[in-house]
Amino acid sequence: MPDKVSVAMGQGSSCWGCFQSLVDIHMNLADVLPQLDIKFWAAVADFKHEHLEEYPDGSIDIGLYEGMARTEEDVHLLKVMRDKCKTLISFGSCSTFGGIPGMANFSDIEECYDVKFRNNKTVKGGEVPTENLPPITDVVKPNKDYVDFDIYLPGCPPTSDLILKALTALLKGEDIELPPHTVCHYCDREKEDTPIPEVLRPYQGKADPDRCLLEQGYICLGSATWGLCEGQCVNKGAPCRGCFGPPPPIHDDQGAAGISMLGSYAPIEPEEILEQVKDPLGTFWRFSYPTSHLGSMRIKREEANDQ
């Protein structure tokens, strides 16, 4: 099949939402799928891990890796994908920044095990399972610390439009051009540059649908977030939580940028802000803790423990 582009789709620990978003290009599948020679995609085709391992290095044109690497098997698959694929794409925010499951790094792994297997409402005294299972890593390290990627396509998930645009360019052998704007650029809400008197939680009151949410006191990460989603939440009433990560250069600290934005809008005493913002870590670093400055100190601590 010489005129087809060979692809491999790898899945680390993830929710499959990025792949679902790919499937959601709908009728465009009829154009795209026939151009692909699927070499590996566990959820769709019956190839096994050994199939992937047996392909010659660099023999697959495009690889997409979804999810973070939570287990040794994930790390292994990530490295195999790197070896086999000419162009390796970091697919989605888990793969690019650690994503939501990167918040597990807020705790130690033993505390995670406690809640999951040893002591919770319906579970008492279990042991961490081990038989025929890959060990879990002590901490979520960003995928980019294991392998180099050629392209980052962030988003939780990347939108179907974005995926289609990227795939179309790749299939033609062209570069992917992505606009650098933040979410605010695509937001229909009016900014009046007024300071906010107090920080509100999204269930409190009723927001004016035409005015900037941040200016009404609702924390919105739009200005610290890459706008590849074109503002889908903020235009439907929900404040941005930053799921596309920071704008390029995309490994800047999104959380730090978000907090300083809030600081510049809210002329409130620091102690009071601290009182009003209930969960800074889980609000500003929800999607990018492992790649952030704070998060990398956390990973270093773990590495020091190991030695």
Partner 1 sequence: MTDERTIRIDPVTRLEGHGSLTIKLGPNNEVKDVQFNVSSTRFFEKFLEGRPMEEAVRIAPRICGICPIPHHLASVKTVEDAWDVTPPPAAIKLRRLLIEAKQLSSHAIHFYALAAPDFVFGPFADPAVRNVAAVLKHLPGVATQAIKLMEFGQELCKTVGAKAIHPTTAIPGGMMSPITEEQRDHWLSKTDEMFENIQKTVDLAKTVVNDYLDVITKVAVTPTYYLGLANDGELDIYDGLIRVMDPEGEIVEEFEPRNYDEYYGEHVSDHSYATHIYYKAAGYPEGIWRANSLARCNVADKMATPMAQEALEEMRELVGRPSHHTFAYHYARVIEMVQAAEWIKKLLEDPEIVSEDVKLADVEANAGEGVGVVEAPRGTLLHNYVCNDEGIIEKANLIVATNNNIAGIEKSLMDAAKLIFEDEGHKGLELPDPMVET
Q: Please, which of residues 94-123 interact with ligand SF4 by CB under 6 A? A: 94, 99-100
Q: CA 143, CA 68: separation in Å to the nearest integer?
A: 6
Beta carbon nearer to ligand SF4, 55 or 219? 219
Beta carbon nearer to partner 1, 20 or 150? 20
For β-strands 60-66 and 119-120, DSSP reports them as unpaired
Spatial strand order of the sheet with 60-66 comes to 36-41, 5-11, 60-66, 85-91, 151-153
Which residue type does 170 have?
L
- Of these partners, partner 1, ligand SF4, none, which one is at the site of residue 43 (CB under 5 to 8 Å by kind)? partner 1
Beta carbon nearer to ligand SF4, 31 or 208? 208
- Of these partners, partner 1, ligand SF4, none, which one is at the site of residue 112 (CB under 5 to 8 Å by kind)? partner 1
Shortest reach from residue 46's CB to partner 1, in Å: 4
The pair of structure tokens assigned to 74 is 């994930």
How many CB atoms are closer than 10 A to CB 145?
A: 11
- Of these partners, partner 1, ligand SF4, none, which one is at the site of residue 204 (CB under 5 to 8 Å by kind)? partner 1
- Using CB under 6 A as the binding rule, whether residue 223 contacts ligand SF4 is answered as yes
Beta carbon nearer to ligand SF4, 67 or 142? 67
- Of these partners, ligand SF4, partner 1, none, which one is at the site of residue 170 (CB under 5 to 8 Å by kind)? none
The pair of structure tokens assigned to 24 is 């959601």
Binds ligand SF4 by CB under 6 A, chosen from 82, 165, 189, 286: 189
SS3 category, 205: coil
Beta carbon nearer to ligand SF4, 55 or 103? 103
173: left (phi over 0), alpha (psi -120 to 50) or beta: left
- Of these partners, ligand SF4, partner 1, none, which one is at the site of residue 184 (CB under 5 to 8 Å by kind)? ligand SF4
Contact assessment for residue 268 and residue 278, using Cβ atoms and an 8 Å cutoff: no
Q: CA 165, CA 115: separation in Å to the nearest integer?
A: 41
Shortest reach from residue 83's CB to partner 1, in Å: 18
Beta carbon nearer to ligand SF4, 55 or 158? 158
The pair of structure tokens assigned to 9 is 């789709």
